[in-house]
Structure 1
Amino acid sequence: MKEETTTIAGGEDPFLWLEEVEGERALAWAREQNERALARLETDPRFAAIRDAALAVYTAADRIPYGEIRNGNVDNFWQDKDHVRGLWRRATLASYASESPDWRTLLDLDALAAAEGENWVWKGADCLPPAFDRCVLRLSRGGADAVVLREFDTQSGQFVGGGFALGEEKQNVAWLDADRLLIASPLEGGSKNTSGYARTIRLWQRGTPLADAQQVFESAETDAFVFPAVFHRPEGREAFIVRAPDFFHQTVYHMGAGGALSALPLPDDVDFRGVIDGQLIALLRSDWAVDGFSAPAGAVVSVPLASLDAGKVDGAAIIAAPSETLAIQDVARTADAVYVTALDNVTGRLMRATRDGDGWRTRDITLPPNGTVSLVSADELSDTLFFNFESFLDPDTLYLARDGGDPEPVKHMPARFDAADYTVEQQFATSADGTRVPYFLIRAKEMAFDGSTPTILYGYGGFEISLSPSYLSPLAIEWLKRGGAYAVANIRGGGEFGPRWHKAALKENRPRAYEDFAAVAEDLVARQVTSARRLGIYGGSNGGLLVGATMVRYPQLCGAVVSSVPLLDMLLYHKLLDGESWIGEYG
């Protein structure tokens, strides 16, 4: 972007040069602001102690080593003070569940970066089932979205000579078999869409140039994404291509045995969640009624893949449905079951569903109260699942569920502070249009309700992202220990109450999110938790936009604002970086 001005409502924008995010003038300005901020922070007598306490938590050796279950093994990527870039390592599931796992290092990223003189950052590995011995690694230079692809052999611990490899770009792959990849890459004959992502899917045969690969799909130039999805399961392999015009709409194509693609008759705003036992699994964003079958928005449904291939939905069934207070959050499949997480008034639930004739039998899995459950990893080749449970005051516990039995805790994160003196309460504020908006307040049990407590109000309100109870961050812990209170707002735009909650603040309705956030701020003052002067508001990315807009619209509500990595230029955001892919959210 050139250093120029553009016409805005109030005249010319003299700061347009700041949006050249990699331009020397913009970077120099950012460095100057950092130096000013650090000079002030580092001279504060509280700074060193808070920084050291946070660093100790982030680098603690007793963190849970989360991993992916891969047919009897667990793969983990681990970073600590001795492995700053990280170790990719593997242990058997039995060993992993023990107190002292026997890890086998697959790749030392620090050693690789030193040997190659590269600033490598780990972005993940796509491995071929069932052995998971051939993987395409995604390595980023410095943490950028663009990645280098390199094939790696986990048995030898070496990159595969003459294997699949590509230079740096925004790209992804899915294994069809040991010698073929479905690849989305703009390199070597591919093309980009207007969001900067790959526009084509090609079938790449081992030992041949990507430029010679057969193109199997091309998306519209204005689409946000297109990506391949291949599921290797006990009952066989199924391959799909998913076209996404934006974050909230999809067209799903099934690849037949001969490679032909067929568009499946699903709603255009479906959220495709894979296959199990010949059934396609999907999460609905809107009500669906077709050929005598109906399901509400927010439901998880199954449809026989054979029916969809024939252009029908015969045999469709509801696996789990929402209610006024319950919203489905996530879905995962093992070899024999579908696991569904939900929020009920922003408190976590976990369900296990298995086939029962033409329908499904669903049961709740017992969890501790008042927390959040997150699906960590599901093995499609066995009935094995990792899930995590946490709350604001209770640290994470990783559970192992298998073969339909009761889950067993396998890893615990130690408490990072003594929570005995604190409490969590859920309150509701009333927004400008009368909507009840929940929020959580974490405070000292002995806090005086006299408006004197310094309070941070955190929010996000976008992209269907739910702010459910999660163990407090190191900085939030230090804030509480020094007498503050911490609030988390569950405003519209998020996913706390399903698609309806998200859609209520989409595009031209975005001000509903700001009104909700303001209502929570006002409620904290009305309950005499704090005062406007002692209230700080905080958010990042879309949350940075939230607090920036709140500051402008309601300057009387708070005394401090932290707008982290914010998206603030809503006139030109679609021209910045990946901004065009956000049009589905902002318009």
Structure 2
Amino acid sequence: MQGRVVGGRRYRSGYPRTVREWTRGSKVDDAPIVFEGEETDVSCGQYLYDETHREGGSMYEVQSRSISFYNSLYHVRKEPTDKFLKLAIALNTEVSFFGRWMLLQLKADWEANDNGSDKVFKSGSLIYVDARAFLDFSGAKVDGNQDAIKETGSRLQYHVLFAPSESTSYTGYSTTKNYLILYMLDDVKERLQFFKLGDRGGPFELVYSDDEGGQIRTASAGGVDSKESDLIWLTTSSYTQPSTLYLADARKCGSNGYIISKLKSLPHMYDSSELEVTQHFATSKDGTKIPYFMIAKKGLLLDGSTPTLLYGYGGFEISLGPRYVTTVGISWLERGGVYVEANIRGGGEYGPKWHQSALKENRNKCYEDFIAVGEHLVASNICTPKSLACRGGSNGGLLAGNMLVQAPDLFAAIHVAVPLLDMKR
């Protein structure tokens, strides 16, 4: 829980808020406090980015304070003798480093008018800028020296690694020594893009991109040793395929891909040989297209008789996407049922705006999206209200509870799991 004000009283977070410098062999209680957050902060932390193994990179020490669930303050220094500088960024921006570059993940439209020009970067973008130059600019902003702000701002040059479109969103990245592997969703289907650090640590160059449209799968890549090589551990999975580990090499990116060999796969836990995964779109009350994935037997008879389970979450910018559904496969799919996951607003399937569009006074859109998917399943003769059930847990439990109130005639069964139904208490 974040620190919050209720009835004029401010409540404490309860999470750790001090950072201590501990020496091996000494008592933790004797370790001096080097950084401390406020009592009302959600959390705080201090950590290092060691980028000295990349050309032009330095050691960056970061202090962060999460002043609310989505907003943080960042202070950075390059040398232990330097003072920490408050970064001149919006509160809901996430910060990281690669080589000599500072990467900024934007959660709202951001106007960078540091050198007199108005540059607006879209919410959901991943941009980067020279870290030293940006620290100089942030220091000038802290000091309030207008001449220094103008001079340091004139040296800033922003580069865009990812800018969202109507169908695409950024979900994260991983690294090798010389490559940045960017994850993106294209209509909730995953794509990977490989960027190589330029000569002498210069700007990134796109060297490989997965097929347009993406794949219905989940993939994660991690450097075997990101300080020494460009080899990658690549893990993939889908609704019907268990996790599989590959060895890959970012240097081999090209027309033949980047995978060297398949190393190992977890065993199949249920029979998926006769199943297929498809994507469909329903239209919500306000006209917004809502994607959903459906796992069903090939050649499904469209007579409305098939038992169908609809699942949703719709919160905290969390995306529902392909992963191996062992328990659903054993208990539901093997028995002939249809399983559906709805990518409703409130989640992160289309970036920060998809999440933010179903908050507070617009929370109803999340529930309208879920109802629209259920109605689309019925209209498509997959099922009828007599053969349609829904389920959600935690935040999804609140979703399922709303179905009990708002659309009881649409579902024959509603499973409300560990719900957050009373949001005031």
The TM-score normalised by the length of structure 1 is 0.61
2:135 aligns with one of 279, 287, 309:
309
Give the SS at the match of 1:329: strand
* 1:205 equivalenced with 2:29 (yes/no): no
| 1:465-509, Cα deviation, whole Å (9 max, x unpaired) | 111122222333431111210001000011111111111112332
Deviates more, 1:452-461 or 1:356-365: 356-365
**Does 2:311 match 1:458?**
yes
Question: Which of 2, 6, 14 is 1:196 aligned to?
Answer: 14
Offset at residue 259 of structure 1 (A): 5.9
> Which residue, out of 80, 89, 97, partners 1:275?
97
Query: Does residue 399 of the first structure (1) align with residue 222 of the second (2)?
Result: no
Contact 1:320–1:362 under 8 Å retained in 2: no
Give 1:334 deviation, angstroms. 2.4
Q: 2:34 aligns with which of 202, 205, 216?
A: 216
The Cα shift of 1:315 comes to 2.9
Distance 2:207 2:404 in 1: 45
- Whether 1:242 and 2:64 are equivalent positions in the alignment is yes
Change (3 A) 1:420 1:239: same
Deviations 1:343-390 (A, max 9, x none): 101111001112336532113344796322332533431323323222
Partner residue in 1 for 2:121: 295
Q: In the TM superposition, what are the counterparts of 1:432-581 in structure 2 within 5 Å? A: 432-572=285-425
State the 1:402 CA deviation. Answer: 3.0
* Contact 1:200/1:226 (<8 A) preserved: yes
Residues 479 and 373 (structure 1 numbering): CA distance in 2 closer, same or farther, change over 3 Å?
closer
Q: Percent identity?
A: 36
1:204-258 CA-partner distances (Å, limit 9, x unpaired): 2334444443333322222211122222342553221121123322221113422
Contact 1:539 1:562 in 2 (8 A): yes
Alignment CA distance shift 1:325-1:222 (3 Å): same
State the one-letter code of the partner of 1:333.
Answer: T
CA contact (8 A) 2:269 2:326 kept: no
Alignment partners' CA distance in 2, 1:467 and 1:387? 20
SS at match of 1:519: helix
Deviation at 1:404, TM superposition (A): 1.9
Match of 1:262 among 81, 85, 106: 85
- Residue equivalent to 2:148: none
- Matched residue, 2:143: none
1:285 maps to amino acid: K
Whole-angstrom CA distance in 2 between matches of 1:334 and 1:197: 33
Choose the corresponding residue for 1:375, options 202, 220, 234. Answer: 220
In 1, Cα distance between equivalents of 2:264 and 2:392: 31
TM-superposed deviation, 1:529 = 0.9
Find the residue that maps to 1:551 and give its secondary structure: helix
- From 376, 386, 392, the equivalent of 2:233 is 386
Question: Match of 1:493, SS?
Answer: coil
Aligned to 2:4: none
Partners of 1:329 and 1:341 lie apart in 2 by 5
Alpha-carbon distance in structure 2 between the residues aligned to 1:561 and 1:259: 58
Cα distance in 2 for partners of 1:219, 1:289 equals 28
Q: Partner of 1:240: helix, strand, or coil?
A: strand
In structure 2, how many angstroms separate the alpha carbons of the residues matched to 1:533 and 1:460?
23
Residues 438 and 491, structure 1, Cα contact 8 Å, conserved in 2: yes
CA contact (8 A) 1:325 1:345 kept: yes
Alpha-carbon distance between aligned partners in 2 of 1:259 and 1:366, rounded to the nearest angstrom: 42
Rounded to whole Å, the distance in 2 between the matches of 1:532 and 1:433 is 23
* Structure 2 contact 392–417 (Cα < 8 Å) conserved: yes
Q: Is the 8 A contact 1:452 1:534 kept in 2?
A: yes
Structure 1: gaps (5+ residues)? 1-192, 573-587
Q: Distance in 2 between matches of 1:495 and 1:489?
A: 12
Q: For the residues of structure 2 that align with 1:294 and 1:385, how far apart are their CA atoms?
A: 35
Q: CA deviation at 1:398?
A: 2.0
- What is aligned with 1:340? 182
Shift of 1:562: 1.8
Which letter does structure 1 place at the counterpart of 2:45?
F
Aligned in 2, Cα 1:498/1:363: closer, same or farther, shift over 3 Å? farther
Task: Kindly state the Cα deviation for residue 428 of structure 1 after the two structures are TM-superposed.
Answer: 1.0
Aligned to 1:415: 268
Gaps of 5+ in 2: 1-10, 139-152, 253-257
Q: After TM superposition, which residue ranges in structure 1, 4 or more long, deviate above 6 angstroms?
A: none
**Residue pair 2:332, 2:338 contacting (<8 A) in 1 also:** yes
Inter-partner Cα distance in structure 2 for 1:511 and 1:257: 50
